[in-house]
Structure 1
């Protein structure tokens, strides 16, 4: 997460400009990898648009609540958009993987719908954390603290959603399609390909090292960083 409305708006603007350039350049040069990177950059940047809305509504009104509830929806849409773009741009098909992907997306959709139904009855307000000036996403904070009886099962549910997301959504629609797509395409940018993975792994390692005390800050910073840097790295063609 960026640390105020201005930085969120700036990050979103940069992601949109990078996305437009990559899609335009990709169309002009018939470089589908650039087009895909442009789509990915825009979808990542959408998180900062949501954060801008949250920053501008810090009095815990209904706008803050529904913008907070939109966060898991945008994360789910990222998976769908990446999958469609990958199949359309690369003609990447595998009946077995497609069937598994459909099943997993249905399960993830059920997960998100159940989460939204539960969140609709909760008091949500995404505000800066006590450790820093970065926003804490209220839906995941609520879920993390969810208890079933005397058992804190929220972290298990949060981990389940995270695993769905990592395996089939971020970064760039799953390792299987990445390997298949880039291996048959004339354009191959190794730094761009591994950049999201390195960023996510670094965030995970830092979270483990700090015993999860700064998890929201770490992953929030990761999103803001990816929003700005992934598009720039993609434009550099490295």
Structure 2
């Protein structure tokens, strides 16, 4: 490079102009880059990311929708399908004193079935005595009465003799009839849950259909209430 050329390059005015041109060019390039639309590849990446976000939200929403509260347990009557108006389930079981008793024995007649937890216990004894006390009134109303429990025939004999009971007592040790009539299910005593007989009474009409059901019976006055229902049927 000649001495004159070096002199021109070192000229402050010329150098400033060159630097300014470079700055202007850089600014113009930046503006152009900002103004340019995103490339197809970049746009695709952004769209995919957005789609994943939406999918994630939808999955969360779906999970929340599925989390439904548990349904309450069905009652014994609902579990067996037994309801007022339904055809009474058939049965044939041994009774106190020997022999058997079946639903067919009472065809064309009204029938009361009272299910009690255990022979010779206080509540069951009072209930059986109350039905015995009203046995003639039930007969006058054209209604037969049967007591049912899971006790053995021998236990039923003892129960009858000890309290001079006048109603037949059926023994259902297999629980088949108890379950069919919704009288066998979960019970609770002092916080302990177990399976057993639910004190219940079923009134069957002369047409063989269930006319009325009483569940979780309170013994006091119950036999009188059943008699009133039988008379009205």
TM value normalised by structure 2: 0.25
Bigger fraction of residues in helix: 1
Larger radius of gyration: 2
Bigger fraction of residues in strand: 2
Q: Which one has more relative contact order, counting CA pairs under 8 Å at least 6 apart?
A: 1
TM value normalised by structure 1: 0.25
